[in-house]
A and B are shown apart, each in its own frame.
Chain A
Amino acid sequence: MIYSLLVLSSPCSGQGSATALRFARAVVDRGHQIRRVFFMDEGTLSGGSSIVTPQDEINQVQQWAKFGAQSKTELILCVSSALRRGLLDASEADRYEKTAATIHPAFEISGMGQLIDASASSDRLLTFGG
């Protein structure tokens, strides 16, 4: 079965982002496929490369990046949510004349159409947080 996930909650507050990641791992472990993980609103912070987590806590950004690389899953940050929160890739940083990119390279910034496409091409679309 093909799944897509929509993550709305911040990795810094509550369990939404962590639960989504655990669910994603379970989907892949059971032999299903994840078409795309789409992050919106506070969820886009899950892709922030400048997030620093205390050493005795789990860094959610690195965990997502590792999952994305291992399972070859697309991790997409909604552009309008990301920009508002200072999450930029190199081209957005350049366009808005900011000093540096602030998203982890495992993530991509793209438009909301990617969520609609994920909806159209997945058997299941699950929301986390909200």
Chain B
Amino acid sequence: MPSPESKSLLVVVRHAPYGSSLARTSLEVALTAATYEQEVGVLFMGEGVLQLLPEQDSTQIGVKNIGKLIASFPLYDLDSLFVDEDALLRHGLDDKNLPQDLRPLGTTAIQQLLRKYDHILGF
């Protein structure tokens, strides 16, 4: 059972949506933390930004849709979503329809974000 203490947690997501089981695992950790009413943020970096692609269709490869999992975040009050704006640009996602709560951050802002949280879980 969770102890009465609480620590803020930043989940750093660096895996492309369908290349590794860690992609889904990282999001499940964030959702579980939100379920236990911890202060939790998610930072998408590197290839992890590809998880944010709108209208993902994973039916042909027979795995669950990561985009739908991210779309369910508001149901868990998980709205502290951040993304490395350089990675967004690099992957050509900057003009795409991205989650409403998502905040693009530059390098300095990311450094500040990393300092703000008690724990950082890097996936």
Which residues of A are interface residues toward B (Cβ below 8 A)?
A: 6, 8, 40-42, 80-81, 84, 112-113, 115-117, 119-122, 124-125, 127, 130
Contact = CB atoms under 8 A, between A and B. Distances in A.
Contacts of B7: 119-120, 122, 125
Contacts of A122: 7, 119
Interface of B: 1-3, 5-7, 9, 14, 21-22, 25, 28-29, 32-33, 36, 38, 118-123
A45 to B, nearest CB: 12
Contacts, number: 63
Given A8-B123, A120-B38, A125-B121, A41 B25 contact: yes
A116 B38 contact: yes
Given A120-B5, A124-B119, 17 more contacts: A8-B22, A8-B123, A41-B25, A80-B28, A81-B25, A115-B29, A116-B32, A116-B33, A116-B38, A117-B1, A117-B36, A120-B3, A121-B3, A125-B7, A125-B9, A127-B121, A127-B123
Contacts of B118: 119
A41 B6 CA distance: 24
21 contacts: A8-B22, A40-B29, A80-B28, A81-B21, A112-B32, A113-B1, A113-B36, A116-B32, A117-B1, A117-B3, A119-B9, A119-B119, A120-B3, A120-B7, A120-B36, A121-B3, A121-B5, A122-B7, A124-B119, A127-B120, A130-B14
B106 to A, nearest CB: 24
A113 B3 CA distance: 10
A41 B21 CA distance: 7
Q: Which of B6, B32, B38 has the most CB of A within 10 A?
A: B32
